């Protein structure tokens, strides 16, 4: 079951949509708190939180003693992924699709631009990730993301690296490896990831941009398919018990080969 967004977020998004569509043109005064409370059937606290969010984004500005007005030149809204997002499998799929669009090119550029020092560092990060699954207490997905983040950095594009750095804190959904208790299931998962990482690393070391792009696309596409399989086999779980059962089924199915070239 998808977690509902906070009421203040819903109100802020609704007002922002009205502003963007022209229903509330630049320079227009926003309705009063009382009017917004009545329109959205929420409390004053909710309205104030929504307005504070719009103000922080430069969409509305205060006029002393007159209330809040739509900015004459609304600032471009900063890209953000709300903290309430990415707590379900469909949202994780959306994030993987986003990563796919950026990281494939990052891998190709990395192969073409990386220095010898960066190649050595990337190999060390990959081996560090491989070493973690021997100790269940040390299993942390952030070692995997260290590898991906270093690829983006070695691509020589500061915006790619900054974007993927922004995604890092929200990357790992709560239903992932922590729910898998059977060691052999984790081993199957890590073996698959190791093969995919090795293909990416080999292409980068050979400075083969095309092969690096193909290997990264294969890796993230396989990750996407693994999560999609979990959705199809278990549905969107609404409790930790259901999520754990779904994860057990999902990782168990990793014993069944998935073609690496599809």
Q: In terms of domains, do 98 and 171 share one?
A: yes
pLDDT at 141: 60
Q: In terms of domains, do 123 and 51 share one?
A: no
CATH code, domain with 37? 1.10.10.10
Q: In terms of domains, do 95 and 169 share one?
A: yes
pLDDT at 186: 64
Measured between alpha carbons, how far is residue 139 from residues 160, 186, 233 in Å? Answer: 27, 10, 25
Residue 168 maps to a domain: yes
CA distance 79 to 56: 13
Q: In terms of domains, do 55 and 183 share one?
A: no
Residue range 56-85, pLDDT digits in tens:
778 899 888 888 999 886 555 566 666 555
Residue 240 maps to a domain: yes
pLDDT at 44: 92
For 14, counting Cβ atoms within 10 Å of its Cβ (0-12 exposed, 13-18 middle, 19+ buried), the class is: middle
**Whether 227 contacts 164, CB under 8 Å:** no
Q: In terms of domains, do 223 and 139 share one?
A: yes
Residue range 94-141, pLDDT digits in tens:
888 888 999 999 999 999 999 999 999 999 999 888 776 655 444 456
Q: In terms of domains, do 134 and 194 share one?
A: yes
Tally of CA atoms within 13 A in the half-sphere of 217 that contains its CB = 12
**pTM value surpassing 0.95:** no
pLDDT at 78: 60
Count of Cβ atoms closer than 10 Å to residue 9 Cβ: 18
Low-confidence ranges of the chain (pLDDT < 70): 1-3, 73-89, 132-142, 169-186, 227, 229-262
3-state secondary structure (DSSP) of residue 68: strand
Q: In terms of domains, do 238 and 149 share one?
A: yes
pLDDT at 231: 58
CA-nearest of 212, 184, 28 to 114 is 212
pLDDT at 228: 72
pLDDT at 255: 43
pLDDT at 262: 36
Q: In terms of domains, do 100 and 168 share one?
A: yes
Residue 187 maps to a domain: yes
Number of domains into which the chain is organized? 2
Can you count the helices (H) and strands (E) in the chain?
10, 2
Q: In terms of domains, do 146 and 45 share one?
A: no
Which residues contact residue 33 at a Cβ distance below 8 angstroms, ignoring those fewer than 6 apart? Answer: 44, 47, 48
Q: In terms of domains, do 56 and 99 share one?
A: no
pLDDT at 185: 59
Q: In terms of domains, do 154 and 190 share one?
A: yes
Measured between alpha carbons, how far is residue 256 from residues 184, 188, 189, 226, 249 in Å? Answer: 13, 9, 11, 12, 12
Q: In terms of domains, do 34 and 144 share one?
A: no
Structural domain including 55 reads 7-70
pLDDT at 150: 94
CA distance 168 to 88: 17
Residue 52 maps to a domain: yes
CA distance 144 to 147: 5
CATH code, domain with 225? 1.20.120.530
């Amino acid at each position: 079951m998808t977690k509902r967004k906070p009421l203040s977020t819903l109100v802020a998004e609704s007002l922002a949509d009205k502003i963007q569509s022209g229903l509330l043109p630049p320079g227009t005064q926003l309705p009063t708190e009382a009017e917004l409370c009545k329109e959205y059937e929420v409390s004053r606290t909710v309205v104030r939180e929504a307005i504070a969010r719009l103000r922080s984004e430069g969409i509305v500005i205060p006029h002393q003693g007159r209330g809040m007005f739509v900015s004459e030149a609304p600032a471009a809204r900063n890209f953000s992924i709300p903290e309430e997002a990415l707590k379900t499998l469909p949202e994780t799929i959306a994030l993987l699709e986003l990563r796919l669009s950026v990281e494939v090119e990052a891998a190709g550029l990395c192969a073409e631009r990386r220095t010898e020092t960066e190649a050595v560092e990337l190999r060390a990060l990959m081996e560090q990730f491989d070493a973690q699954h021997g100790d269940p207490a040390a299993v942390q997905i952030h070692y995997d993301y260290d590898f991906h983040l270093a690829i983006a950095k070695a691509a020589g594009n500061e915006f790619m690296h900054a974007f993927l750095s922004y995604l890092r804190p929200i990357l790992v959904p709560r239903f992932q490896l922590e729910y898998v208790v059977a060691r052999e299931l984790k081993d199957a998962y890590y073996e698959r990831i190791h093969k995919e990482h090795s293909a990416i690393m080999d292409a980068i070391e050979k400075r083969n941009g095309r092969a690096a792009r193909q290997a990264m696309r294969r890796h993230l596409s396989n990750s996407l398919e693994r999560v999609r399989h979990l959705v199809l086999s278990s549905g969107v779980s609404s409790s930790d018990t259901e999520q754990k059962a779904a994860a057990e089924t999902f990782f168990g199915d990793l014993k069944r080969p998935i073609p690496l070239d599809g």
